[in-house]
Amino acid sequence: MYVTFNNPLYLWFLFLIPIMIIAHYYFLKRSRGKALIFSNIQALKRMNKGNIITANLTHLIIRCLTIFVLIIAVSGATIWVMGERSDVNIIFALDSSASMTSPDIGSSRFESAKSIISELVNNMPSGPEYALITFAGVSKIQRIFTQEKTELLLSLDQTEIFRIGGTDVGGAIITATNLFESKPEQGKMLIIISDGLDNAGSFITGTMDEAIFYAKQNQVVIHSIAIGTEAGPLGFLPEYYQIPASFNDEIMILMSEETGGTYHRVETTNDIQTVINEITLETNRAYINHNLYYWAPILVFLFLIIEWVLANTMYRRVL
C-alpha cells in the first residue's frame, strides 16, 4: 500500500497547521492573562480538582483536522492497495541480449524464456490484453496490446537476439510503463524475463532506481523471472574460450519487491513449469485505487457540524 498525490505542491500548506497551533496558544495565553484581572482561575481549578476542560483545545483539534482534510483533498491524495481485479493487462518483456544465448538452460536462455512466455499466454484467461517488448541495449515493442493470443505468439516466435550490445533493464521498464499509458484505468502487470545483467544504462547514476520508481508511481506490478546460472557459458563464442555468461538477479529481486510483484528463479528446465504455475496465480492481482479526495467534503462537513454542536451545547458557557 502506498499514497500518491495528483497535486503534491499543495502539501506545503500542511505547514499552516503548526503555525495555527502556535498562534492559538499565543493568543490564548494573552487572553487568560487579561482574564486574571476579573476572575480567580486558581479558585476554579480547586473547585474542579485541578481540571478545567475548555473549548479551546477541542476546537483547535477539530479545526486542525478540517484544514488537514482540505489540504489532502486539493492535493488529490489516492491510496493504492493490492487486490483482485478482472481487467489486468499484461506486458511481457523479453531480454534479447547476447548473454541470453548461453546454453545453460535448455538449448539457450533465450529459447527457454520464449517457451515460458508461450506457456504463460496459453494458461492465462482470454479477457486481458497482452503486449510484448524485447530489449537489449535498446527496447523494442514487438506487439502492442491485443486480446488475440495467436497474434502475440506469432510475434514471440519471430523475435531474435538483438545485434545491439548491452542490456538496459531500466529502459525496458520505462518502455513498458509508457505502453500501459494507453490503458490508464486498468490493472497493469509487467513480466520481465532476463538474466539480470544491466549495463547499457549504468553510466547514468540511479537509472534503475528511477525506472522502478516510475513504474511504481504508475501502479505497474513487476513480476521478474531470473533465468540462468552463474557459471553458464557465453553462447555466441566457442566453448573453449571459457568466458562465462553474465548473471545477476539482484535488480530482479529489487524491482519485484518495490512494485509489489513476485520474484522467480529458473536454474534448470525443471523450474520452468513451477514458475509458470506460480505466475499464473498472480494474473488477476493489481493495484486498486481509493481516492481520498472523494471523502474529504463529507469529513469537512462532519467536523463543522461537530464543532457547531459543541459550541452551542456543552462548551457554550465555558471560556
Beta-carbon-side half-sphere exposure of residue 173 (alpha carbons within 13 Å)? 32
Q: CA-to-CA distance for 119 and 110, rounded, in angstroms?
A: 14
> What backbone phi and psi angles, to 5 degrees, belong to 200?
-75, -35
- The predicted structure's pLDDT at residue 234: 58
Contact assessment for residue 236 and residue 99, using Cβ atoms and an 8 Å cutoff = no
What does the domain layout of the chain look like in residue ranges?
2-80+292-311, 86-283
- The predicted structure's pLDDT at residue 237: 46
pTM: 0.77
Class of CATH domain 86-283: alpha beta
Sign, Cα dihedral of 238, 239, 242, 245: positive
Closest listed residue to residue 156, CA positions, set 141, 137, 167: 141
| Segment-wise mean pLDDT, segments of 10 residues, the chain, 319 residues | 85 90 80 55 52 63 89 87 90 92 88 95 86 93 94 94 83 95 92 82 66 93 91 52 61 92 93 92 88 81 84 62
Closest listed residue to residue 251, CA positions, set 170, 162, 133, 177: 170
- The predicted structure's pLDDT at residue 111: 94
CA distances from 48 to 70, 262, 294, 302 (A): 37, 61, 44, 31
Contact assessment for residue 80 and residue 219, using Cβ atoms and an 8 Å cutoff = yes
Contact assessment for residue 75 and residue 11, using Cβ atoms and an 8 Å cutoff = yes
- Give the strand order in the sheet containing 88-95: 139-146, 130-135, 88-95, 187-194, 220-227, 263-266
